[in-house]
Every structure is written in C-alpha cells, then in structure tokens.
C-alpha cells in the first residue's frame, strides 16, 4: 500500500529554526500536512485534540524532553500506535538504547538531509 503523502505529521522542537528545517525537508520528500509544537506538553495537547500519522520530535527540549514525550505517547492507548521518530545531536549508545526501550520507531542524528529523512520515513511508513 502506498504511503499517503497527506499524512498529518507533528514535528516537535523548541528551536524555531529546526522546526523550519524539518518542515522544509518534509516538503522536499513530498509531505506538506505538517503541524508544529514548541515543546512536549503542547505536543501532547495537539496529539489529544487531532489525529496524526507520525511524530518527529527533538530529544533535547525543556520542560519535557523528547524521551518523556515518547514515553507519554506510548503510555496513552489512543496515541501508542503512532510512529515516532526521534531527532538528536547525541548519538551516544545509551541514548539510542533508552529511546528503543521507550518504543521509538526510528532515530535521526543531526545534522541530516532530505535523503536521510526519506530513508528513515520509509523504514517507518513504507516505500513512497
């Protein structure tokens, strides 16, 4: 089954420039239906109010980290099945393990380009 390019995607980052970069990269690979949240708490509110088919979140945020957001999403029966891609500047093994244990779908280390994003999206959503 083909991936719906109109899939609603929530990107979460406390850094506006990074939100813009991720939005532009998503656009380059064909995804335009993108909503933004500046932190984990507002992301949870949006997730509970609307339906999303994918979450792309930064790890390092205040006051709720991307890992805390991931744990909240996985603990919520209505949200638990949403694919979740974590973005981080940290490639430490313990971080990757913590994210995997919390149920992350995939992991992207900064900096990254449209090709990297596309391959991670394909691994989570399927070919497009």
Structure confidence by residue, pLDDT tens digits, 2-27: 789 999 999 999 999 999 999 999 99
What are the domain boundaries of the chain?
9-123
Q: Specify the CATH class of 9-123 in words.
A: alpha beta
CB–CB of 97/8 below 8 Å? no
Under the banding of pLDDT at 50, 70 and 90, the label for residue 1 is low
The predicted model scores a pTM of 0.96
- The residue whose two tokens read 């996985």 is 74
How many Cα atoms sit within 13 Å of 34 on the Cβ side?
19
Under the banding of pLDDT at 50, 70 and 90, the label for residue 122 is very high
pLDDT digits (tens, 9 = 90+) for 66-95: 999 999 999 999 999 999 999 998 888 899
Chain Cα centroid distance, residue 75: 16
């Amino acid at each position: 089954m083909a991936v719906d390019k109109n899939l609603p995607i929530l990107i979460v980052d406390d850094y506006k420039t990074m939100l813009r970069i991720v939005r532009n990269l998503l656009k380059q690979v064909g995804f335009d239906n993108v909503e933004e949240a500046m932190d984990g708490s507002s992301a949870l509110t949006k997730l509970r109010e609307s339906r999303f088919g994918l979450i792309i979140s930064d790890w390092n945020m205040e006051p709720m980290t991307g890992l805390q957001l991931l744990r909240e999403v996985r603990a919520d029966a209505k949200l638990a099945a949403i694919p979740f891609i974590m973005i981080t500047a940290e490639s430490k093994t313990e971080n990757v393990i913590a994210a995997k244990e919390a149920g992350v779908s995939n992991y992207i280390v900064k900096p990254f380009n449209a090709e990297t994003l596309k391959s991670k999206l394909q691994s989570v959503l399927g070919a497009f």
